[in-house]
Amino acid sequence: MKRLTTALILFTSLVCKADGLCNRGMVQKFDDVIPSANLTWTPCFDEFTCSKLEVPLDYSNRSLGTTSVAFMKLAGKNATIQSPSIVLVPGGPGGSGIQLLEEYRSLMGQMFGEQYNFVSFDPRGVNNSGLNLDCFRGNAEARLAFNRLHSTGATNVSSESLQEQYYSASIYSEWCNEAVEKDLPHGYYVTTPAVAQDLLTFVEAEATLAGQSASDAKLWAYGISYGTVIGATFASLFPDRVGRMVLDGVFDAEQYYDNNWRDVADQMDETIEKFSSLCHSAGPDRCSFWGPSPANITARMDQIILELQNHPVAVSKAQSQGLPTKATYSDLKALLFNNFYSPRSGFPVIAKVLHQLENGNASALADIPNGLGITSDAGFVTRCVDSYRRNKLTTIEEFKSYVEYMVSTSKYTGDIYPIIVETILCRSFRPQLPDSMVIRNPISGVQKPTSFPILLASNTVDPGTPLKSAQKLSSQFPGSVLLLQEGVGVSQI
Ligand X SMILES: *[C@@H]1O[C@H](CO)[C@@H](O)[C@H](O)[C@H]1NC(C)=O
The closest residue (CB) to ligand X is 96
Q: Which stretch binds ligand X (CB under 6 A): 16-24, 58-66, 278-286, 388-396?
A: 58-66
* Residues 91-150, interacting with ligand X (CB under 6 A): 96, 99, 114, 127-128
Helix (H) or strand (E) holding 175: helix 161-182
Whether the Cβ atoms of residue 74 and residue 118 lie closer than 8 Å to each other: yes
- Output 342 or 451, the one with its CB closest to ligand X: 342
Spell out the residues 6+ positions from residue 286 whose beta carbon is closer than 8 angstroms to its own.
Answer: none
**Span near ligand X by CB under 6 A; candidates 177-185, 240-248, 293-301, 464-472:** 293-301
CB closer to ligand X out of 311 and 448: 311
* Pairing mode, strands 242-250 and 219-225: parallel
State the nearest-atom distance from the C-beta of 476 to ligand X, in Å.
31
* Residue of the chain from 134, 415, 422, 462 that contacts ligand X (CB under 6 A): 415
Cα–chain-centroid distance for residue 429?
A: 21
Here's the x/- map for ligand X, 250-289, by CB under 6 A: it reads as ----------------------------------------
Query: Which of 78, 170, 316, 395 forms a contact with ligand X (CB under 6 A)?
Result: 78
- Separation in Å, CA 111 to CA 86, 103, 200, 322: 11, 14, 24, 44
Cis peptide before 418 (omega within 30 of 0): no
Only one of the segments 243-251, 291-299, 418-426, 456-464 lies at the binding site for ligand X (rule: CB under 6 A); that segment is 291-299
Nearer to ligand X, 365 or 456 (CB): 365
Which neighbouring-strand residues pair with 71?
A: 51, 121
Tell me: does residue 365 bind ligand X (CB under 6 A): no
| Burial degree of 104 (CB within 10 A; 0-12, 13-18, 19+) | middle
What is the distance of C-alpha 124 from the center of its chain?
A: 14
Pick from 173, 271, 363, 382: which binds ligand X (CB under 6 A)? 363
Q: Which residue, 409 or 469, is less far from ligand X as judged by CB?
A: 409
Q: Are the C-beta atoms of residues 229 and 253 closer than 8 Å to each other? A: yes
Sole binder of ligand X in the list 239, 291, 348, 453 (CB under 6 A)? 291
Among 407, 426, 437, 473, indicate the residue that binds ligand X (CB under 6 A): 407
Considering only 10, 15, 37, 306, the residue that binds ligand X (CB under 6 A) is 37
Which amino acid does the sequence have at 426? C
* Segment 285-294 long-range contacts (CB within 8 Å, at least 24 positions apart): 287/347, 287/348, 287/351, 288/348, 288/351, 288/352, 288/354, 288/355, 289/350, 289/351, 289/352, 289/354, 289/355, 289/358, 290/351
Alpha-carbon gap, residue 411 to 422, rounded angstroms: 19
| Identified binder of ligand X from the candidate list 12, 13, 288, 356, rule CB under 6 A | 356
- Beta strand extents in 384-479 (DSSP E only): 455-461
- Least distance from ligand X to the Cβ atom of residue 38, Å: 4
Q: Which of 186, 244, 300, 389 binds ligand X (CB under 6 A)?
A: 300
With binding defined as CB under 6 A, does residue 63 bind ligand X? yes
Phi, psi (degrees; rounded to nearest 5) at 442: -60, 150
Residues 4-33 that bind ligand X (CB under 6 A): 29-30
Count residues near ligand X (CB under 6 A): 28
Nearer residue to ligand X within complex by CB, 343 or 414? 414
Residue 215 has a CB neighbour count (10 Å cut-off) of: 8
Name the residue nearer to ligand X (CB basis): 411 or 430: 411
Chain contacts with ligand X (rule: CB under 6 A): 29-30, 36-38, 61, 63-64, 77-78, 96, 99, 114, 127-128, 156, 159, 291-292, 296, 299-300, 356, 361, 363-364, 407, 415
